[in-house]
Amino acid sequence: MMIIDQYWWFAIPGIILGLYAQMKLSSTYNKFVQVGVESGVSGAEAARDILDRSGLGEVPVEEVAGHLTDHYDPMKRALFLSSDNYHGRSVAAVGVAAHEAGHALQHKEAYAPLKLRMALVPITGFASQASMWIFLLGYMMGFAKIAGIAVIVFGIIAIFQLITLPVEFDASRRAKEQLLRLGLVQNRESVAVSKVLNAAALTYVAAMVSSLFMLLHFVMLARGNDRD
């Protein structure tokens, strides 16, 4: 039997912001993927130029399947771009590619928040898997009975999301700086690049807000258990 506790509404802000963030990213990306970059470079070429000029010629830029699946893998020391951004010659494609290259620059410089996030990946992966079991058991047994464990699990996830924010914002800052410095985008195009990267960053803000509200939800339940 499904049991809903009195603090279920704590999930609402995260859900609303998450939906808004995804819609904002989709609409902004779809708008600027139609706007060609004046330099004519593709996302892959822009990322390659940034990496090479930064002494990271050994870091490969590879194509990966999916939509907006772009990422930098610090374990493989490789940059992966979705097909649209790998081949695309739009403001959006170049901006996203430069952002991922920004993560490679962070890795090279041993950027502290990135190092901390990398260190937390194993335990956060375990916590993410555990969260699925918490929801399943919670709906079956009642969330109050597993609130203590849930506080630990969602506390780990919330910390990871908080650390992710400066990593992502700094990567975007580096991206815009490199694109302008290398002449890959013009000053008048930097506004469009910023809009695309800010929309992408909003998804990380939404994830952080959602994780904090879930943590607060279980903290309230745990406190209620202590009073009983």
Residue 120 tokens read as 């937390």
Sign of CA dihedral 85, 88, 92, 93: positive
The crossing angle, in degrees rounded to 10, of helices 91-108 and 112-141 is 110
d(CA 175, CA 63): 19
Is 100 a catalytic site residue? Answer: yes
- Of 59, 32, 66, the residue nearest 44 (C-alpha): 59
**Contact in structure between 175 and 18 (CB atoms under 8 Å):** no
Residue type, 27: S
Catalytic one of 45, 100, 168, 189: 100
Residue with tokens 């630990």: 152
Contact 25, 214 (CB under 8 A): no
Residue with tokens 């603090």: 7
Return the exposure string of 164-193: e unless at least 16 CB atoms fall within 10 Å of the residue's CB, then b.
beebbbbbbebbbebbeebebbeeebbebb
CA distance 199 to 183: 23
Q: Which of the residues are catalytic?
A: 100
